[in-house]
């Protein structure tokens, strides 16, 4: 029996508690477990860094939603990324990253893992020839974001997976912006999916977390080993909040997409707006690929203002329903200026973003209130 996405989100890994019948997975706030005899833990439960029932429920659910075999939950998206990279790479390895990678990912490569001996180059992932040209003999993996942050670029995951396979390198997809409801990279040929569950998966801006999902059992065993050895795991309270959010991912994403589509259309015809970056618009260069690999086009909308930097900052500071703040993917709408906020650390680098850019994380409020708020803020 195979179940649909929303059924899995509500039930995968979440059978009623065997002792009490509790329908909701309890928060197992325990560091250690009683053993039936010396060296005889029950179902591998010996210490909560290694395994915890609340975290295990979340991990099983995430694996089911991504169509993978094993999931791993971490204290943050960055912890998930760091654990993955130091599991599959060794110093001297090279990786290809998107030229508009998430700012924190870029910082991890350029300021932390580079000192550890990892080498990287940035390429526009929408250009397969550029990605091929960036590969070296020591390339270990290609890091993909689609849609990208904050420019909403689209990469052809299936084509990149074929390229990666041909060159014997891993394809890693940061699926944070799409969420597993809209896009399932493992089914498109990717080897590993990364999430900041802080965003759409958790969905309520009340918890920071990360996750990895893969299919290959050998890779899963190595990730399990490193997750335990490095210890950046999600705690039981955070795992519980994330699991609670995950149950409604499907209905939330439909509404995020409804609202974002309306806002992208509105901005496209607004005289103060120079261009709108949203993969759901037919004129977006990645529209066809997005339509092929995504169920819908997501809740993130970026746009550039004719009035340049000053207009972008003024707009961000003028909205009332859209809250000025970093992060994304929660039920409430957020607005930000990537150049000075989420992507400030990329200033002066190849990953610098335009100063006239505004990024919206479109929430699930009433669309008329969101449109009126933007209308007012754009003057
Ligand atoms: C937020 C984010 C991350 C980092 O996750 P944290 O939970 O903040 O550590 C990684 N990738 C993308 C695309 C993100 O938006």
**pLDDT, tens digit, 9 for 90 and up, residues 3-54:** 999 999 999 999 999 899 999 999 999 999 999 999 999 999 999 999 999 9
For the chain, give the mean pLDDT: 96
* Ligand 1 contacts CB of residue 210 (under 6 A): yes
Q: Label each residue of the chain as H, E or C.
A: CCCCHHHHHHHCCCCCCCCCCCCCCCCCCCCECCCCCCCCCECCECECCCCCHHHHHHHHHHHHHHCCCEEEEECCHHHHHHHHHHHHCCCCCEEEEECCCCHHHHHHHHHHHHHHCCEEEEECCCCHHHHHHHCCCCEEEEEEECCCCCCCCCCCHHHHHHHHHHCCCEEEEECCCCHHHHCCHHHHCCCEEEEECCCCCCCCCCCCCEEEEECCHHHHHHHHHHHHHHCCECCHHHHHHHHHHHCCHHHHHHHHHHHHHHHHHHHHCCCCEEEEECCCCCCCCCHHHHHHHCCCCCCEEEEEECCHHHHHHHHHHHCCCCEECCCCCCCCCEEECCCCCCCHHHCCCCCCCCCCEEEEECCCCCHHHHHHHHHHHHC
Bridge partners (DSSP) of residue 38 are none
- pLDDT given for residue 194 in this prediction: 98
Nearest atom, ligand 1, residue 327 CA = 1
Q: What is the pLDDT of residue 275?
A: 98
Which residue's CA lies nearest to atom 1 of ligand 1?
196
Residue among 101, 145, 176 to mutate when testing ligand 1 (max atoms within 8 A of CB)? 176
From the CB of 87, is ligand 1 less than 6 Å away? no
Distance 104 CA to ligand 1 centre (A): 7
Domains and CATH numbers, the chain: 5-247 (3.40.640.10), 250-378 (3.90.1150.10)
**In whole angstroms, what is the distance from residue 202 CA to residue 245 CA?**
5
According to the model, what pLDDT value does residue 1 have? 65
Those residues whose C-beta lies under 8 Å from the C-beta of residue 57, and which sit 6 or more positions away, are: 13, 14, 25, 239, 243
pTM for this entry: 0.96
Spacing, Cα 379 to ligand 1 middle (Å): 32
Please give the Cα distance from 233 to 75 (Å, whole number).
5
- How many angstroms is it from 22 CA to the middle of ligand 1? 32
What pLDDT, in 10s, does the model give residues 289-331? 999 999 999 999 999 999 999 999 999 999 999 999 999 999 9
Q: Please identify, by atom number, the ligand 1 atom nearest to the C-alpha of residue 177.
A: 13
pLDDT at 100: 84
Ligand 1 contact, 303 CB (< 6 A):
no
Task: Supply the residues annotated as catalytic.
Answer: 49, 102, 174, 199
Candidate from 98, 102, 106, 242 with most ligand 1 atoms within 8 A of CB, to mutate: 102
For the chain, percent of residues with pLDDT exceeding 70: 100
Residue 79 CA to ligand 1 center (angstroms) comes to: 10
Nearest residue (CA) to ligand 1, atom 7: 77
Closest ligand 1 atom, residue 197 Cα = 7
Per-residue confidence in pLDDT tens, the chain, 379 aa: 689 999 999 999 999 998 999 999 999 999 999 999 999 999 999 999 999 999 999 999 999 999 999 999 999 999 999 999 999 999 999 999 998 888 899 999 999 999 999 999 999 999 999 999 999 999 999 999 999 989 999 999 999 999 999 999 999 999 999 999 999 999 999 999 999 999 999 999 999 999 999 999 999 999 999 999 999 999 999 999 999 999 999 999 999 999 999 999 999 999 999 999 999 999 999 999 999 999 999 999 999 999 999 999 999 999 999 999 999 999 999 999 999 998 887 788 777 889 999 999 999 999 999 999 999 999 8
Tell me whether strands 192-196 and 170-174 are parallel, antiparallel or unpaired.
parallel
Q: Is the CB of 208 under 6 A from ligand 1?
A: yes
């Amino acid at each position: 029996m195979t179940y649909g996405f929303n059924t899995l989100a509500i039930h995968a890994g979440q059978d009623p508690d065997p002792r009490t019948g509790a329908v909701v997975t309890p928060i197992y706030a325990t560091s250690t477990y009683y053993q039936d005899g010396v060296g005889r833990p029950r179902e591998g439960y010996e210490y909560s860094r290694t395994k915890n029932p609340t975290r295990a429920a979340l991990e099983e659910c995430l694996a089911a939603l991504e169509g993978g075999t094993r999931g791993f939950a971490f204290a943050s998206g960055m912890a998930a990324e760091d654990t993955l990279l130091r599991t599959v790479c060794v110093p001297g390895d090279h990786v290809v990253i998107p030229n508009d990678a998430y700012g924190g990912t870029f910082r991890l490569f350029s300021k932390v893992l580079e000192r550890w001996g990892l080498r990287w180059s940035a390429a526009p992932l929408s250009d397969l020839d550029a990605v091929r040209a960036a590969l070296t003999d020591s390339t270990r993996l290609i890091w993909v974001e689609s849609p990208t942050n904050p420019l909403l670029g689209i990469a052809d995951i299936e084509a990149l997976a074929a390229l990666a396979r041909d060159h014997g390198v891993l394809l890693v997809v940061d699926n944070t912006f799409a969420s597993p409801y809209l896009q399932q990279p493992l089914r498109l040929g990717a080897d590993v999916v990364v999430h900041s569950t802080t965003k759409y998966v958790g969905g309520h801006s009340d918890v920071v977390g990360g996750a990895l999902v893969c299919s290959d059992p050998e890779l899963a065993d190595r990730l399990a080993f490193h997750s335990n050895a490095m210890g950046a795991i999600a705690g039981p309270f955070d795992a519980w909040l994330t699991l609670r959010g995950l149950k409604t991912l499907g209905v939330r994403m439909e509404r995020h997409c409804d609202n974002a589509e309306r806002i992208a259309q509105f901005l496209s015809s607004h005289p103060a707006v120079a261009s709108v970056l949203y993969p759901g618009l037919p004129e977006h260069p990645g529209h066809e690929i997005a339509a092929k690999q995504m169920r819908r086009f997501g809740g993130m909308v970026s746009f550039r203002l004719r009035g340049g930097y000053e207009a972008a900052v003024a707009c961000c500071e003028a909205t009332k329903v859209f809250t000025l703040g970093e992060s994304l993917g929660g039920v409430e709408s957020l607005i930000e200026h990537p150049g000075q906020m989420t992507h400030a650390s990329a200033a002066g680098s190849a990953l610098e973003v335009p100063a006239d850019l505004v990024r919206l994380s479109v929430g699930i409020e009433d669309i008329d209130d969101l449109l009126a708020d933007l209308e007012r803020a754009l003057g």
